[in-house]
Amino acid sequence: MNWLDNFISFISPSAGAKREAWRQYLDEQRNYDAGSYDRLNAGWIAYNQSAEQTDRYSRDTIRARARDLERNSDMANSIIGAYRRNVVGHGWTLRARTTDETLNKQIQEAWKEWCKRKNCDITETQSFHQMLRMAERRKKVDGGILFKKCYTNGGLLPFKLQALEVDELDMGRVAPYHAKCRVIGGIELNTYNKPMGYWIKQYNIDGFGQTDSVYVPAKDIIFYFTKERPSQVREMSDLAATITRIRDANEFMTAVSVKERIAACLAVFIKKVIPTTGGFARGVNGPKTSQPIRDYDGKRISPGMIKELNAGDEIQTVNPSGQATDATSYIKLQQRLIGAGQGLSYEATSRDMSQSNYSSARQGIIEDGQTYIEDIELLQEVILDEVYETFVISGVLAGLFLIPGFWENKQQYLKHEWVAAPKKWIDPIKEANATRIALQTGQKTYQQIAAENGKDWKEQIDETVAVLEYAREKGLEIGGVIFDKTEEELTPANVQGRETGTNSHEDV
């Protein structure tokens, strides 16, 4: 606004002076340094806009750059891999929770079969767990992914999923399918900004031959993305906050690599005392020699090499000077900042445990787990629960599940839970003691402990009983208790009274 102030001061010096006085007064009344426009913040230009208006013009560029880092950056893939391992990992096990145990087993067996690629994927190229891992990867890189419910023949059920990229949303669509709705970013919204449908572009897999977009009702689309603001309609790459830092680290490592390669090179130049020696009709005033003149073109230095130079020739070596840059500390700092930008610890992204002990590793896992739980909760609610409910309903309609009164008491028959695959212990002895103490003091139940190990507590008890019965038949000791296939159970009290030649229970 300097030109305006100058113009006003030129026309009316009094008005210009008052304007400057009021500006200085307002600057003095600012209570936040972050809100001032002094010299340090003069170049910090920011505006308050809706989430969609803020993201709209940068979304495609950020997504393209994130995909480039996905293809070429090891640091970017360290973040993506950490989320894939801890959010999806080996997958999630279904536990149906209806009141009918027989029905529960039937649903669980059918779900396990449906998760195979030939039954769940319309392209028959990915299993359901593989689709979940891809969904988590696309969420981190692209910002989100869409799954379309397809009701077709073939497979276990007439229900399959089709994975769609966010690029397939028709950005150019303006006319809505329903009256009083509007289309923003390919998504049709009602007056409450609730998605009513999605406009999906139709094109060949090679990207050519695009035709008009097709409207798909919202009930048939699963849109997996993170919503950060109430006015947000579409996705934004989860890597957006750390893209520039990842690129800086990559460029730095490239520069260091080039410098080290140059520093490792050895160049040799032949310096002739009399440059014109040996030439025809040249060097007439130079010394005469009977030695043949050798040409050095194509010669290379090799270990143990002994060569004779021309008379008057001198070797000069060129060894680029400069100490090798210690990039370790810089890269560690960058990785810490990149991980912090994604809510993860340095160890989780770098896999460097050299500076960690048991306590710090446990603390890091706990804090990282709080970060992963957000994506786990979103994954379960948006994808897993939605797909499971559609799976059960499709099974009832197709006659796979015979459930009387299903439609009258649908929520009762849709009850379920997801059990994560177990994670390896850092220190098995300490972890086992902690679990035992938690169980004895009532801090955890047997059901919770079984779930943490990826087991169903009822199935685990059944398996334990089967093992103990089999051990009793064979006369083996299981869990500190001795069983004999012909005698009663041996306890620590009576095992010493038997004349079998065995020692006390503790020694056994």
Q: What CA–CA distance (Å, rounded) separates 160 from 152?
A: 7
Determine if the pTM surpasses 0.85: no
Q: What is the largest CA-CA distance in the chain?
A: 119
Give the position of tokens 């690599």.
257
Instruction: Write down how long the chain is.
Output: 508
How does pLDDT run along the chain (508 residues), one tens digit per residue?
567 777 777 788 888 788 777 776 666 556 677 777 777 877 888 888 899 999 998 999 999 999 999 999 999 999 999 999 999 988 898 999 998 999 999 999 999 999 999 999 999 999 999 999 999 999 999 999 999 999 988 889 999 999 999 999 998 888 999 999 999 999 999 999 999 999 998 877 776 666 788 999 999 999 999 999 999 999 999 999 999 999 999 998 888 888 777 777 766 767 776 655 544 444 445 455 555 676 767 677 777 677 777 777 777 776 655 555 577 888 888 889 998 899 998 888 888 888 778 788 778 888 888 899 999 999 999 999 999 999 999 999 999 999 988 999 999 999 999 988 777 777 778 888 888 888 888 888 888 888 777 777 777 888 888 888 888 888 887 765 444 444 444 444 444 444 444 443 344 3
- The alpha carbons of the chain give a radius of gyration, in whole angstroms, of 36
Residue 474 phi, psi dihedral angles, 5° rounding: -95, -5
CB 63 within 8 A of CB 142: yes
Taking CA atoms, 452 is separated from 89, 467, 485, in Å, by 14, 21, 35
User: What one-character DSSP code corresponds to residue 309?
Assistant: P
Mapped onto helix, strand or coil, the DSSP state of residue 164 is strand
Q: What CA–CA distance (Å, rounded) separates 477 from 479?
A: 7
Amino acid occupying residue 202: Q
CB 493 within 8 A of CB 499: no
H-helix or E-strand spanning residue 336: helix 328-341
Q: What CA–CA distance (Å, rounded) separates 311 from 318?
A: 22
Q: What CA–CA distance (Å, rounded) separates 217 from 199?
A: 9
How many degrees, rounded to 5, is the angle at CA 441 between CA 436 and CA 445? Answer: 70
Q: What CA–CA distance (Å, rounded) separates 191 from 50?
A: 16
* H helix intervals, 121-169: 128-141
Mapped onto helix, strand or coil, the DSSP state of residue 9 is helix
Looking at the DSSP bridge assignments, the partners of residue 416 are 96
